Every structure is written in structure tokens, then in C-alpha cells.
Amino acid sequence: MAVSVADKGGKRLIGTVIGALAFFAVGAMVMVTQVQAQSTPQKVTVERYVPTIWVDPDGCEHWVMDDGTEGYMTPHVSRQGIPVCRRGNLCGVMNTDQFFATDSYRISSAGQQRLQEFFSGATATSYIIVGHTDSRASDAYNMRLSQNRANAVARVAQSTGARIADVRAYGERQPAVPNTSAANMAKNRRVEIICLR
């Protein structure tokens, strides 16, 4: 069967018209969908911010808001614009060998009683608890152990009603003396209590 040139042109024209109609039909469906989506009420999620005060290593306060994904921090200043900073001094050093078993962060009952007496008698407004270790294990292990030991001391302090401003862990990173002997390593295994007044 022979197809003439006119037939081919007519088929081309019909194909073009059908393609254009399909294009406009799809565009109209998209516009209707967009209009429907705009008219449908949207569910609004409300972010919950948890305000707190963070005390930096110099004892200065910062207002902190955190919604879990993004945090905001601004310095806490007086009405005169002066940063609010607390005087902090090292008021207690716990030799962890006397309070914890090796590789443990559970405080003995005698150690808990001594700590409760300390926090009950101290006159600070709040405390910073700082954990340290010697250098015998890996850095990651020492960081975890010093954090757990500092948290254990903070729990005892809170049980007496003491306010804990911060709990920090430095592992082996801030030795009091070089880790060159067993006696020095024993001095580096410590939890420091900083009193803020």
C-alpha cells in the first residue's frame, strides 16, 4: 500500500495536535493538584526548646536553647551588659582509687557517705565535676571512664540537694603530673570538684 506525501503530513499534524493536547492535559492536572494541595490544611509541627544555662570553663554563664537539631547560645549579661561569671575554685580532689574499683565507676558505700558529707557541708552555690584518668588505656576508653566516674559523683551530689552546673571528662588529656610512674598515675586518676560561688 502506498502512502502519499499528503497522508504523511496529515498524520504528522494529527500527532502534533494530540501531543499538544496531552501536554495541556498534564499541565491542567498539575495545576489542579497544586490548588488542591494548597486548600488542604497542613499539619504544623511545633518545636520544643529546652532552655538551660551552660557555664564555660572560665565560669561565665550562657543561655542555651536546644531543640535537638539546632542549638542557640547567648552570653548571660547583667543589666549593665557585663557578663555574669562565677568565681570558681578547686575545692575537692578525689583520688579515684579510694572511691572506685579498677575499671569501675560504681562508688563504694563508704565513698558515697564521705561525698554526701562533703556536699552537705560545702557552701558553694553550684559545682562543676571533672573526671580524669591515667594514660594506661585508649583515649576513647579513658574518656568514657572519666565521664562515667564524674557522673557518679554528680549523682551523689544531687542526692544531697547540691546543684551541678556542669559535668566534664578529660580522660588522660590533662594529667596533674607526667604518667611516668605508678605513683604519678595514681595522682592522675582523680575527680575534681570545682565550687562556684
Indicate whether this model's pTM tops 0.95.
no
For the chain, what is the largest distance between any 2 Cα atoms, rounded to a whole number of angstroms?
Answer: 110
Q: Do residues 172 and 97 both lie within one domain? A: yes
Q: Do residues 75 and 95 both lie within one domain? A: no
Q: Residue 85 has what pLDDT?
A: 73
pLDDT tens across 4-23, in order? Answer: 444 544 555 455 545 554 55
Q: Do residues 104 and 147 both lie within one domain? A: yes
Domain count, the chain: 2
Q: Do residues 70 and 118 both lie within one domain? A: no
pLDDT tens across 93-120, in order? Answer: 999 999 999 899 999 999 999 999 999 9
Q: Do residues 81 and 167 both lie within one domain? A: no
Q: Do residues 135 and 54 both lie within one domain? A: no
Three-state secondary structure along 41-69? CCCCCCCCCEEEEEECCCCEEEEEEECCC
The boundaries of the domain holding residue 187 are 88-196
The one-character DSSP state at 160 is T
Q: Do residues 92 and 174 both lie within one domain? A: yes
- Structural domain contains residue 150: yes
Q: Do residues 133 and 179 both lie within one domain? A: yes
Q: 3-class SS at 124?
A: coil
Distance between CA atoms of residues 88 and 111, nearest Å: 24
Task: Tell me: pLDDT of 131 over 90.
Answer: yes
